Amino acid sequence: MIPEEHNNAQIIQRKTDFVPPRTWRNWLFGRPLATADAPRQTIGKFVGLAVFASDALSSTAYATQEILFILAAAGSVAFGFVFPIAIAIVFLLVIVTLSYEQIIHAYPDGGGGYVVSRDNLGNIPALIAGASLLVDYILTVAVSVSSGVAQIVSAYPELFELRVPISVIAVVFVTLLNLRGVRESGVAFAFPSYFFVLMMFLTLGMGLFRYFTGSLGKVVNPPSMNIALTVTAVTPFLILHAFSSGTAALTGVEAISNGITAFKEPRSKNAGITLLWMAFILGSLFLGISYLIGNIGAVPSEHETVISQLARTALNGRGLLYHLVIWATTVILVLAANTAFAGFPRLSAIAARDGFLPRQLSFRGSRLVYSSGIVTLALIASALIIVFQASVNRLIPLYAIGVFLSFTLSQVGMARRWWKIGHLQPGQEVTERGSTLHYGKYWRTKMLINGFGAVCTIVVVMVFSITKFKDGAWVVLILLPLLVVLFTTIHRHYRTQEDRLTLDTFSGAPPRATRHRVIMPLSGVHQGTLEALRYARRLSDDITAVHVSIDPLETEKVSQKWETWGEGVRLVILDSPYRLFIEPLLEYIEEIAANRQPGETITIVVPQFIPSQHWHKLLHTNAANLLRSELLTKPGIIITDVPYQVP
């Protein structure tokens, strides 16, 4: 014990020797971790790439296909624009990567676009950025898992009707892995992630070699497109539409900036290097896939993905290597949801600590992960998969607009940050909530980089909003303002509660009550009732037992037993001709409360017997819980449970 005197109050701090017992949860989630274990649960660059980059890397499996889906409206002649569009997207990737590299070093505690916007643009832009990223993380899970299952369906068409339950099971699997902790889930995902990268580079290498040696050829027996020709020529609008669909390849780039705290020290350096690795691999794979797809005559289809067509063409049939590519792609797409499971809980925890989301989201579970955020993400994403029948083509229009809006706000915020730094004096230091500002002589160059990036990404947002509006982007454009309103409502509630509970303007507690009245509801007279009566006598001599009469025979038994065991305490019997229990009792209590004397405290002492087995609770009405839930909202009334454990 460590006693400490503070304003005449003794503060005692004790250490506990309690260790959580072993249960079935230890087998499923792992043993509980102490808070002191947190530094040992961080990850390095190698595992970090698997955890935070799987979403971005896996998007190469469907981004090119989504470009083809749009260009198909003008016929296969439009497929020649796939590679130029891919080059434009990779150029945008370079800009976004440079921006987030700066964010990682400027805000080492994570939070990405939300924290950057909060510190430099204000709460409303921060909430828009936060809502955009949270929606994007949810869609990441739905899209990546659905796309992974689509790869399986490409190789095994007989599973097409089972794609929805398979997708939901995959979400549950990733959820369980993440509930075990960042380190364990990262190690589990490392091998599949690197195996996917290896197989894709192998496929692209063989494809490019065969293409330049003239032995690649075209896709054999390509699937039917079943896409109606809606335009007679390739138009600028069609190109922009295809470009906006292809920008899905950039989703996940921001995840590392949100999860910097998961990396080992020096965490900013490790996170920044991991970001550069990810961008290089992503850009290489995306360009290679887009180049070969445009030269082998692959077509977009819900029944066979373009990755499947590329693999069987480059690898000369459906042999062992083909199946390895399909399974590697399937696994990485399913595990790409892990990026969202790593980013969503951390971002929601930061917003919750700021008071914009329920505080429960900011608490770490037994494995030092934000368990509430993980479960919330899994439930919402599973609902989306069910509603949209695990169709990637139907989910994609909802995708990417949110993340590019966050890109824009974060880059505008960074540009303002460099402007503020440029107006500091050399040696001057300003501390903000998320970072510390120091004068830097290259602030103009950095401000121009972020400003140019903001212009590029806002153009993408506008293009996406216009071209994808009727396809479903309108849902996100309506959802984001609603989420901002929800966040501000939650924040207002917390602020109101803090203002009402604060001690800053508190003048002291009122004088102690001079009179104490006890009301004790009882449904029967037994040992538990007498235990509650003994407790009530310690509180006051003014005790009233109350019985609600539903069955006259039962009331008679209660009256007789009370005369024998009631110790002279008065019993009030409330007739209930409609066989209601709670309502007559509440009416009586409210009547007593309305006529109470000044300074009088009313305490409801509720006898409650506790069965020896948990399942026995299902056999009882649990009226005590019902009464408690009704009375908790009544001011000036105290509710006390007196449990009696039945052996």
Per-residue pLDDT tens digits for 381-414: 999 999 988 887 778 677 667 778 888 998 999 9
AA identity, residue 287: L
Percent of the chain, pLDDT > 70? 88
Evaluate whether 57 touches 332 at the Cβ level (below 8 Å). yes
DSSP secondary structure, 479-493, as one string: HHHHHHHHHHHHHHH
Q: Which CATH superfamily is domain 40-412+451-495 in?
A: Amino acid/polyamine transporter I (1.20.1740.10)
Instruction: For residue 610, report the phi and psi dihedrals to the nearest 5 degrees.
Output: -110, 115
At residue 594, does pLDDT exceed 50? yes
Q: How far is residue 513's CA from residue 511's CA, in Å, rounded to a whole number?
A: 6
User: Residue 53: how many CA atoms within 13 Å on its side-chain side?
Assistant: 27
Q: Where in the chain is the domain with CATH 1.20.1740.10?
A: 40-412+451-495
DSSP secondary structure, 392-458, as one string: HHHHGGGSSHHHHHHHHHHHHHHHHHHHHHHTSPTT-EEE-SS-EEE--TTHHHHHHHHHHHHHHHH
Collapsing DSSP to helix, strand or coil, 568 comes out as: coil
Q: How far is residue 206's CA from residue 270's CA, in Å, rounded to a whole number?
A: 33
**How does residue 195 score in pLDDT terms, banded at 50, 70 and 90?**
very high
- State pLDDT tens for residues 130-173: 998 899 889 888 888 888 888 788 778 888 888 899 999 989 98
Least confident of 342-346, 384-388, 489-493, 530-534: 342-346
Q: Where in the chain is the domain with CATH 3.40.50.620?
A: 515-645
pLDDT at 35: 64
Question: Is 642 or 9 the better-scoring residue by pLDDT?
Answer: 642
10 Å CB burial of residue 142 (0-12, 13-18, 19+) is buried
**How does residue 276 score in pLDDT terms, banded at 50, 70 and 90?**
very high
Instruction: For residue 277, report the phi and psi dihedrals to the nearest 5 degrees.
Output: -60, -45
Q: Which residues pair with 638 in a beta bridge?
A: 603
Q: How far is residue 172's CA from residue 174's CA, in Å, rounded to a whole number?
A: 6
- State pLDDT tens for residues 86-129: 999 999 999 889 888 888 988 888 778 898 999 999 999 999 99
Enclosing H/E stretch for 498: helix 474-501
Q: How far is residue 439's CA from residue 508's CA, in Å, rounded to a whole number?
A: 48
Nearest to 386 by CA among 160, 612, 167: 167
At residue 39, does pLDDT exceed 80? no
Provide the whole-model pTM: 0.76
Enclosing H/E stretch for 520: strand 515-521
Structural domain 515-645, CATH architecture: 3-Layer(aba) Sandwich (3.40)
Q: How far is residue 107's CA from residue 588's CA, in Å, rounded to a whole number?
A: 59
- State pLDDT tens for residues 506-538: 676 566 556 789 999 988 888 888 989 999 999
Q: What angle do CA 90, 244, 77 make, to 5 degrees?
A: 90
At residue 1, does pLDDT exceed 60? no
pLDDT at 54: 81
10 Å CB burial of residue 208 (0-12, 13-18, 19+) is middle
The arithmetic mean of pLDDT across residues 350-372, rounded, is 86
Evaluate whether 453 touches 93 at the Cβ level (below 8 Å). no
At residue 238, does pLDDT exceed 50? yes
The arithmetic mean of pLDDT across residues 35-62, rounded, is 79
The arithmetic mean of pLDDT across residues 442-466, rounded, is 87
Residues counted in the chain: 647
Spatial CB neighbours of 3, under 8 Å, sequence gap ≥ 6: 10, 11, 12
Question: HEC profile for 440-464?
Answer: CCCHHHHHHHHHHHHHHHHHHHHHH
In this structure, the strands spanning 2-6 and 9-13 are antiparallel
pLDDT at 3: 42
In this structure, the strands spanning 515-521 and 570-575 are unpaired
AA identity, residue 115: V
List helix spans (H) across 180-215.
182-212
List helix spans (H) across 261-319.
267-296, 306-314
